[in-house]
A and B are shown apart, each in its own frame.
Chain A
Amino acid sequence: MAQMNLLQAINNALDIAMAENDSALCFGEDVGHFGGVFRATSGLQEKYGKARCFNTPLVEQGIIGFANGLAAQGSTPIAEIQFADYIFPAFDQIVNESAKFRYRSGNEFNVGKLTIRTPYGGGIAGGLYHSQSPEAYFAHTPGLKLVVPRNPYQAKGLLLASIRDDNPVVFFEPKRLYRASVGEVPEEDYQLPLGKAEVMQQGSDITLLAWGAQLEIVEKAAELAAKDGISCEIIDLRSILPWDVETVANSVMKTGRLLVSQEAPITAGFASEIAATIQSECFLHLESPIARICGMDTPYPLALEKEYVADHLKIYEAIKHSVNY
Chain B
Amino acid sequence: MNTEIYKESPVVHQPAFIDGHSVEIPILKILKQDGNVYDGADLPEIDQTHATKIYKALAFHRVLDERMVAAQRQGRISFYMAALGEEATSVGGAAGLESQDMIMAQYREQGALIYRGFSLENFMNQMFSNEKDLGKGRQMPIHYGSNELNYMTISSPLGTQIPQAAGYAYGQKLQGKDAVTICYFGEGAASEGDFHAGLNMAAVHNAPVIFFCRNNGYAISTPSDEQYVGNGIAARGVGYGIKTLRIDGNDILAVLKAVQFARQYALKENKPIIIEAMSYRLGAHSTSDDPSGYRTREEEAKYQAHDPILRMKNWMLAQKWWDETQETELFEKLREQVLAAVKVAEKIDKPPVEDLVTDVYDQVPAHLQQQLDALKTHIKKYPQSYPFTAGRIK
Query: Would you call B1 an interface residue if the criterion is a C-beta within 8 Å of the partner chain's C-beta atoms?
Result: no
Interface membership of chain B positions 5-19, coded 1 if the CB is closer than 8 angstroms to chain A and 0 otherwise: 000000000000000
Are A108 and B170 neighbours in the complex by a CB distance under 8 Å?
no
Are A112 and B362 neighbours in the complex by a CB distance under 8 Å?
yes
Chain B min CB distance to A71 (Å): 8
Interface membership of chain B positions 356-381, coded 1 if the CB is closer than 8 angstroms to chain A and 0 otherwise: 00111110011100000000000000
Residues of A within 8 Å of B227, CB to CB, are none
Query: Would you call B160 an interface residue if the criterion is a C-beta within 8 Å of the partner chain's C-beta atoms?
Result: yes
Are B155 and A195 neighbours in the complex by a CB distance under 8 Å?
no
The answer for the CA separation of A71 and B152 in the assembled complex, in Å, is 13
Query: Would you call A51 an interface residue if the criterion is a C-beta within 8 Å of the partner chain's C-beta atoms?
Result: yes
The answer for the CA separation of A166 and B170 in the assembled complex, in Å, is 21
A-B contact count (CB 8 A): 155
**Residues of B contacting A: mostly:** mixed
Query: Would you call A269 an interface residue if the criterion is a C-beta within 8 Å of the partner chain's C-beta atoms?
Result: no
The answer for the CA separation of A72 and B135 in the assembled complex, in Å, is 16
Given contacts A57-B200, A245-B367, contact A105 B194 (CB under 8 A): no
Chain A binder among B68-76, B161-169, B295-303 = B161-169
Give chain B's interface residue range (CB within 8 Å of chain A): 35 or more
Are A96 and B167 neighbours in the complex by a CB distance under 8 Å?
no
Nearest chain A residue, comparing its CB with the CB of B356: A103
Given contacts A104-B153, A245-B367, contact A56 B168 (CB under 8 A): no
How many chain A residues touch B (Cβ–Cβ < 8 Å)?
A: 49
Query: Would you call A272 an interface residue if the criterion is a C-beta within 8 Å of the partner chain's C-beta atoms?
Result: no
Nearest chain B residue, comparing its CB with the CB of A107: B359
Chain A min CB distance to B130 (Å): 12
Are B134 and A66 neighbours in the complex by a CB distance under 8 Å?
no
Nearest chain B residue, comparing its CB with the CB of A168: B361
The answer for the CA separation of A51 and B175 in the assembled complex, in Å, is 11
Nearest chain B residue, comparing its CB with the CB of A108: B147
Residues of B within 8 Å of A97, CB to CB, are 155, 157, 160, 164
Residues of A within 8 Å of B104, CB to CB, are 69
Query: Would you call B174 an interface residue if the criterion is a C-beta within 8 Å of the partner chain's C-beta atoms?
Result: yes
Interface membership of chain B positions 98-140, coded 1 if the CB is closer than 8 angstroms to chain A and 0 otherwise: 0000101000000000000000000000000000011110110
Which of B133, B160, B358, B359 has the largest number of chain A CB atoms within 10 A? B359
Are B145 and A105 neighbours in the complex by a CB distance under 8 Å?
yes
Chain B min CB distance to A244 (Å): 9
The answer for the CA separation of A61 and B135 in the assembled complex, in Å, is 26
Residues of A within 8 Å of B162, CB to CB, are 65
Residues of B within 8 Å of A189, CB to CB, are none
CB < 8 Å neighbour of B204 from A56, A110, A145, A242: A56
Are B204 and A57 neighbours in the complex by a CB distance under 8 Å?
yes
Are A65 and B201 neighbours in the complex by a CB distance under 8 Å?
yes
Are A106 and B174 neighbours in the complex by a CB distance under 8 Å?
no
Are B366 and A242 neighbours in the complex by a CB distance under 8 Å?
yes
Query: Would you call A75 an interface residue if the criterion is a C-beta within 8 Å of the partner chain's C-beta atoms?
Result: yes
Query: Would you call A295 an interface residue if the criterion is a C-beta within 8 Å of the partner chain's C-beta atoms?
Result: no
Nearest chain A residue, comparing its CB with the CB of B104: A69
Query: Would you call B353 an interface residue if the criterion is a C-beta within 8 Å of the partner chain's C-beta atoms?
Result: no
CB-contacts of B158-212 with A (<8 A): 160, 162-172, 174-175, 181, 193-194, 196-198, 200-201, 204-205
Interface membership of chain A positions 68-82, coded 1 if the CB is closer than 8 angstroms to chain B and 0 otherwise: 111111110100000
The answer for the CA separation of A104 and B139 in the assembled complex, in Å, is 6
- Known contacts A66-B163, A246-B366; 6 additional CB pairs below 8 A are A54-B205, A66-B166, A66-B170, A104-B155, A106-B133, A109-B145
A-B contact pairs, 27 of them (CB 8 A): A61-B163, A61-B194, A62-B166, A63-B201, A66-B163, A66-B164, A66-B198, A66-B201, A68-B163, A69-B164, A69-B167, A69-B170, A70-B171, A71-B167, A75-B174, A77-B167, A96-B160, A102-B362, A104-B138, A104-B143, A106-B133, A106-B138, A106-B359, A112-B362, A143-B361, A145-B361, A166-B362
B-binding residues in A (CB < 8 A): 23, 25, 51-52, 54, 56-57, 59, 61-75, 77, 89, 92-93, 96-97, 100, 102-110, 112, 142-143, 145, 166-167, 195, 242, 245-246
